[in-house]
Amino acid sequence: MILERLSLRGKTAIVSGAGGEGIGTATSLALAEAGAKVVAVDIAAERVQDTERRLRAMGGECLGIQADLRKKSEVDRIIAQAVQRYGGVHCLANVAGGMQPGQWGRLEDYGEREFDDVISLNLRYVFLICQAVAKHMIERQIRGTMVSVASVSGIASAPYHAPYGAAKAGLMALTRSMAIEWSAYGIRANALAPGSVKTPRAMAGSAMDMDERAKGNIPIGRVCQPDEIAAGILFLLSPLSSAISGQTLIVDGAATAKFPLMGQTNKYAPEVRVEAPRP
């Protein structure tokens, strides 16, 4: 019964940012394994082709589309092609986004163009594709689901990447509003906020082993893997989460759950003794 409710058999799912062997690729694989027909969208043709090849190798159905999600005409084309191939769209996973190396910087020096670029890549496109998919679902009376990848950077502060944090905070606020407005049509909308994730892009930008650096910052002692984020997305898209909407699921190894003054209060903590179980 429970496993059946994780199934997306007979559903079509668009995955934005589906390539790159990170969260998008892992999400595409997870949704295909759950039975969904996957529309894999990415801005780079080679990444689209790689994800398409992987899904077909595992026996899944996949339509790869190269597109720039920041353009409304491209978003409309994605939905039109998905409908032409599979008849309708039931699920949407927004994974595209992130920060480029040159987009980090101090707020007092941050440029307007750079700010706009970060907002466009992490918030504006989510509005465009969610709006277009919602219109499609409403017109066809599809009780669909949407999940957008946010970030823990949108929950607390985001030093030296403030526009990204602002965009992700806006994404979570937008998700709550979508969940309320579209609930009348049976559409659910949620967000998922990862912490550090061991993606190829993250590893390329880190001079130190990510897991080693995580030991002092993340309670579980390591960073998350892309397939762990994908598992959360699958859960939120599936019927197993049928009563969950307008929420943000945090997947960060308990990093944001830590007591902020733990380093100052450890000396006051009582000694913990573990006794062997009695026979």
Torsion over CA: 120, 121, 125, 130 (sign) = negative
Which single residue is written with the structure tokens 């529309």? 39
Q: Which of 86, 110, 125, 164 is catalytic?
A: 164
Annotated catalytic residue 110:
no
CA distances from 243 to 131, 144, 195, 257 (A): 22, 13, 25, 24
What's the CA gap between 150 and 156, in Å, rounded?
A: 12
DSSP string across 130-166:
HHHHHHHHHHHT---EEEEE--GGGTS--TT-HHHHH
Give me the amino acid identity at 202. A
What's the CA gap between 189 and 148, in Å, rounded?
A: 8
**Residues designated as active site:** 164
